[in-house]
Amino acid sequence: MATRSGGRTGSDAFAHLIAIVAELRQRCPWDRQQTLPEAARHLLEEAYEVVDAITAEDPDAVAEELGDLMVQALFAATIASESTGSAVPDLLEGAAKKLVGRHPHVYGDTKASTLEEVVELWDQVKAAEKGKAPKRSSLAKTGRALPALMRAEKLGVKARRRGMDWKDAREVLSKIHEELDEVTRALDAGDQAAAADEVGDLMLAIANLPRFLGRDAEQTLRRSCDKFVTRFGEVERLAGSRGLKLAQLSPQELERLWQEAKQAGRNS
């Protein structure tokens, strides 16, 4: 049953939004000049704002940012329809058809009662849609447009489904130590290019550790970034209260301020 909000059913509200976006594309000078790559950039920005709102656990902001994300998705679809010849409703119908087709355990007679069975079935349906086995690695197209951290985790998940993965978090830690040793050897040899290559391997292993702890890599790093910002702000506050300038402090003095900031965070 469609929900009702602001006097419109959910389906009517969506149709109304599609119409507004289409009209803006025709009548607003700024919207008329937008290209698909520009729309893609705005879409990505809005997606990250949704993530920020979710991370902040702000329900009102989540609702607002999700609305903005829908607008940008519809705007990108509107621009794309100009070159594909498919109207936005056609794109939506295609998406609905794909969802139904990939859930035969819901809309058909196929049985899948566990999460593992659903994931395996999803992969089987996707493979059947492509019609033939890929010429390259089955991971070749996995998350190519994603930020590297998210792609690294997604690759690990896909590899696990195909039977290749670490056994537990300790095995991942062992791999991390192995890669770190290789970075050290490359640096000791004075080979910057090899060191950079090994750092990439190290980061790939680290990116997959959070999922063995039941955590998301992106969210884990995001929280640490926020923690760093908070602690750095405390370092600046401490330095300012003592008439000190960070740029003029020695590494030892900066470390003492950093430890004070960490302790202040634990006590707050």
135, 189 Cβ separation under 8 angstroms: no
Q: Are residues 9 and 83 in the same domain?
A: yes
Claim: this prediction has a pTM higher than 0.95: no
Minimal CA–CA distance to 164: which of 207, 208, 202?
208
Q: Which of 45, 60, 91 is the last residue of a domain?
A: 91
Residue 119 lies in a domain: no
In a domain, 139, yes or no: no
What is the residue-wise DSSP string for the chain?
Answer: ---EETTEEHHHHHHHHHHHHHHHHHH-HHHHH--HHHHHHHHHHHHHHHHHHHHTT-HHHHHHHHHHHHHHHHHHHHHHHHHH---HHHHHHHHHHHHHHT-HHHHSS----SHHHHHHHHHHHHHHHH-S--SS-TTTTTTTTS-HHHHHHHHHHHHHHTT---SSHHHHHHHHHHHHHHHHHHHHTT-HHHHHHHHHHHHHHHHHHHHHTT--HHHHHHHHHHHHHHHHHHHHHHHHHTT--GGGS-HHHHHHHHHHHHHHHHH-
Is residue 188 assigned to a domain?
yes
Domain boundary among 91, 107, 125: 91
Has residue 59 been placed in a domain?
yes
Shared domain for 66 and 26, answered yes or no, is yes
Could you tell me if residue 127 is inside a domain?
Answer: no
Q: Are residues 74 and 35 in the same domain?
A: yes
> Per-residue pLDDT tens for 132-142?
555 567 788 78
Whether residues 200 and 240 share a domain: the answer is no
Q: 233-253 as b/e, with b when 16 or more CB fall inside 10 Å?
A: ebbeebbeeeeeeeeeeeeee
Residues 244 and 205 in one domain: no
Report pLDDT for 3: 47
In a domain, 211, yes or no: yes
Provide the pLDDT for residue 4: 47
- Domain coverage including residue 40: 4-91
Whether residues 27 and 84 fall in one domain: yes
Q: Which amino acid is at 237?
A: R
Residue 7 is predicted with a pLDDT of: 63
Does 200 reside within a domain? yes
Q: Which of 172, 192, 215 is the last residue of a domain?
A: 215
* Per-residue pLDDT at 135: 53
- Total count of domains within the chain: 3
- CATH number (domain holding residue 166): 1.10.287.1080
- Maximum Cα–Cα distance across the chain: 73
pLDDT digits (tens, 9 = 90+) for 226-241: 999 999 999 999 999 9
Within a domain: 120 = no
Q: Which residues of the chain have pLDDT under 50?
A: 1-4
